[in-house]
Amino acid sequence: MSHSLPPLRLLSVFETVLRLGGVRAAASELNVSQPAVSQSLRQLEAHLGATLLDRSTRPPTLTEAGRLLHRATVEGLGRIGEAIDEIARLSQSGEQAVTVACSVGLATYWLMPRLALFYDRHPHIAVNVRTTQQGAPPLTAGVDLAIRYGDGSWDDGDVRLLFPECVQPVCSPALAARLRKSPRWFEAATLIHVDVEDETWLSWRAYLRRMGQDGGGRGLRFTNYVQATQAALAGLGVMLGWRSITGDLVNEGRLARVVDAAIVPNEAFYIVAAARPRSPEASATVLAWLVAEAER
pLDDT tens-digit series, residues 141-168:
789 999 999 899 998 899 999 999 999 9
Q: Among 107, 92, 82, which Cα is nearest to 279's? A: 92
The pLDDT of residue 140 is 81
**Phi-psi bin for 240: left (phi > 0), alpha (psi -120 to 50), beta?**
beta
Q: Do domains 8-76 and 167-257 have the same CATH topology?
A: no
The pLDDT of residue 28 is 83
Cα–Cα dist 37/40, whole Å:
5
Cα–Cα dist 156/145, whole Å:
11
CB 216 within 8 A of CB 125: no
CA 16 to chain centre: 13
Q: How many CA atoms lie within 13 A of 28 on its CB side?
A: 6
Q: Specify the higher pLDDT residue, 169 or 24.
A: 169
Question: Residue 222 forms beta bridges with which residues?
Answer: 194
pLDDT tens-digit series, residues 199-231:
777 888 888 888 888 776 678 998 888 889 999
Question: Residue 160 forms beta bridges with which residues?
Answer: 271
Give the DSSP letter of residue 129: E
Question: Residue 169 forms beta bridges with which residues?
Answer: 240
Amino acid identity, residue 18? L
Q: Where are the domains of the chain?
A: 8-76, 92-165+267-295, 167-257
Q: 206-215, 253-262, 283-292: lowest mean pLDDT where? A: 206-215
Q: Could you tell me which CATH number the domain at 167-257 has?
A: 3.40.190.10
The share of the chain scoring above pLDDT 90, in percent, equals 37
Q: SS3 for 4?
A: coil
Residue 229 class from Cβ within 10 Å (0-12 exposed, 13-18 middle, 19+ buried)?
Answer: buried
Does CATH place domain 8-76 in 3.40.50.300?
no
Cα–Cα dist 36/53, whole Å:
16
Cα–Cα dist 20/168, whole Å:
23
Q: Among 222, 188, 166, 213, which Cα is nearest to 17's? A: 222
The pLDDT of residue 89 is 58
Residues in the chain, total: 296
CB 158 within 8 A of CB 148: no
The pLDDT of residue 169 is 95
Class of domain 92-165+267-295: alpha beta
Cα–Cα dist 210/167, whole Å:
12
The pLDDT of residue 134 is 63
Cα–Cα dist 130/199, whole Å:
23
Amino acid identity, residue 226? V
